[in-house]
Chain A
Amino acid sequence: MSTLKLAFRNILRNRRRSLLTALSASVAVLVLVVATGFIGGVETDSVKSYLTTRTAHIKVYAAGYPYNDESLPLDQALSPAQQSRLVDAGRDVGRAVGRPIGRTVSGLKMAPRLLFSASLIKDGEELMALGAGVDPQADPAVLEAPGRLARRLTDPRGILVGSDLARLLHLKAGDTVTASFRTRPGAIYADDFTILGLVDSGNPEVDSNYFFISLGAAQDYLEMPGGATEWDIRLERPDDLSRVETALQKKLGPEFQVVSWRKQLADVLSFFDLRRKVFVIINAALFLMAVIIVANTMLMTVYERFKEIGTLMALGMKRRQILELFAAEGSLLGLLGGLAGVLIGAALIRYFSTHGVDTSGIRNRGMDINVPIKGKLYAELATYFYFVAVAVSGAVAGLAAMWPARKAAGLEPSEALRRN
């Protein structure tokens, strides 16, 4: 009769009480699993959304360009000569980090963009927007917004509009809209443009703010021949990020600023971090409740079994063995409860990783949930985490049982036998 087997039989004595106690661990683990799954899923999808629609892996700007605010100054754009250096440096670094694909070597893909502030006006309604001049050939290889739609930008008077922005202005493909913006020399320019398509990238930030025009047309309208405010870089292997960032910055020198997506999204990542901390606090509170419930149950068990503890001591059980027995009972309650929580949690994660949770209802009510994902949020959880959750539950419950267990082990045998 091992300690574990005896502990298992003991927790089956009062099944209802054990079930309720294990349930507290189940709830804590269930919340841990499901919330971690959603937080993880949303973070992964958010980063993916930012990477594919806005930040790319790396952006290169002229030194001093305020990439983190919305001023989009044209006088701090990259000159054609700087861009030429940048392309050369990119090629070199790409070769260094690249790997053979067939007969070619591929390491990174680059595309220029010219970002500018603008207004879109339709039927007297005006909305601030962010214009992006994109290279119709190179841009789709780097970013998915506008992606292949960029190839439609052959007419200098044609633009692609973010789907949410279009909705707000009641626009559809084929409509005409007036765009107004300030050129680099400072003149106000306004003209009518035909909407060649709507961009539905899935990132609400892009879809509700951006319109796209061909880079050449943007340079012409803004009177910036050959100009670009940034170059976007996509890596074949995202693991090369810091290597490429460092190598490029070193090659380009202080005239440029090489900014990885991590730096661009520093505020977002801080928010993720804060959210995780808040979640840890909430989950710790749930586990604390489970600890109290397990400790309370084990304490009741000790009080009920004084005489039995005395008998075990009379039979020769040592204090350490008594301690182990009660700690094992607590741990088993935690493990079984945790296992139940994980099983239910795994089923929910499995369901929501396939079907997701639709957030369109929330967004349609005008609520911002700070997630760059439209439509559904999907859960995602690494398999090892399920084992961690069960182990944590067992360990926490075992620790919770230590105080009652020490009380049991500290009894004098004669005193324990005297009590009922």
Chain B
Amino acid sequence: MEAPIAELKNVSKNYQAENVTVAALQNIDFRLNPGDMVAFVGPSGSGKTTMLNLLGCLDKATSGEVSVCQVNVAGADHNQLAELRNREIGFIFQSYNLIPVLTAFENVEFPLILQGVKDPRERRERVEAALAEVGIRELQDRRPSYMSGGQQQRVAIARALVKKPVFVLADEPTANLDSKTGEEILKIMRKMNEEKGVVFVFSTHDRMVMKYARRLVGLRDGEIVSDGGNGV
């Protein structure tokens, strides 16, 4: 059995909301495996985004063990987690979250600069290749405010993929897109999963995302209630 990309062992996550403790996740065991294209599904408040936050090292578990790319998240400091996110994890957000003052090219180039890729020619080649892969190379000089939602999400995918991450986390990636554009975006991701082995992890309500995912993990009230292939 191949080593997991990320693993959660008996993980719980509580949030403090004013004086009330809210249990977002309870006693979760989960393995993210190479080649996965997995979707966390479930109603609002079921813990989907919390799962993504833990896998993306954006948050730490209250108890249990989270390891990402062989790094024990609980024992890592802010800088180590920032480097882990920068090198190994891609993020795609529901609202795209592009930096508004940067062009599409610069948005995609930004993680490479953070990675310390110093050669501008290498950066240019990688950015142009990533933009070409999502089909918007001709828009590289536009700022996000001059692009449609679908175009922005493609830039976000290119930004996630340009650094060749071990896995990509996508939080409701189609929620702000029309169904046609959403499906185009999903096709791109599926193609990358199949051809390049890029691991995708979604959180979603969208049936179309569920259709394209190869593994569905059902969550309810912070617990995993199902985990299996979706038959696609």
Contacts and interface: CB of A to CB of B under 8 A. Distances in A.
B111 A308 contact: no
Interface string B175-199: 0000000000000000000000000
A412 B59 contact: yes
Contacts of B58: 310, 313-314, 412-414, 417
Nearest to B79: A318
Contacts of A310: 58, 97
Interface string A401-420: 00000000000111001000
A317 B110 CA distance: 10
Contacts of B100: 13, 308
A314 B101 CA distance: 18
A1 B85 contact: no
A317 B99 contact: no
B50 to A, nearest CB: 8
A314 B56 contact: yes
B22 interface: no
Interface in A1-16: 1, 6, 9-10, 12-13
Contacts of A315: 85-86, 91, 110-111, 114, 159
Contact of A413 (B59, B95, B102, B114): B59
Q: Is the interface of B mostly helix, strand, loop or mixed?
A: helix
A6 B78 contact: no
A313 B106 CA distance: 17
Given A1-B106, A1-B110, A315-B86, A414 B53 contact: yes
B227 interface: no
A1 B106 CA distance: 7
A201 B100 CA distance: 66
A311 B97 contact: yes
A314 B171 CA distance: 13
A221 B109 CA distance: 94
Interface centre among B58, B87, B109, by most chain A C-beta atoms within 10 angstroms, is: B58
Contact of B101 (A6, A311, A318, A414): A6
Given A413-B58, A417-B58, A319 B78 contact: yes
Contacts of B95: 307
B30 interface: no
B83 interface: yes
Contacts of A321: 114
23 contacts: A1-B106, A1-B110, A6-B101, A10-B101, A308-B97, A308-B99, A308-B100, A310-B58, A310-B97, A311-B91, A313-B85, A314-B91, A315-B91, A315-B114, A315-B159, A316-B86, A316-B114, A317-B114, A318-B79, A318-B83, A319-B78, A321-B114, A414-B59
**Pairs of residues from A and B, 6 with the lowest C-beta to C-beta distance, nearest first:** A316-B86, A9-B101, A414-B59, A413-B58, A414-B58, A311-B97
Given A1-B110, A314-B85, 4 more contacts: A9-B102, A308-B100, A311-B91, A316-B86
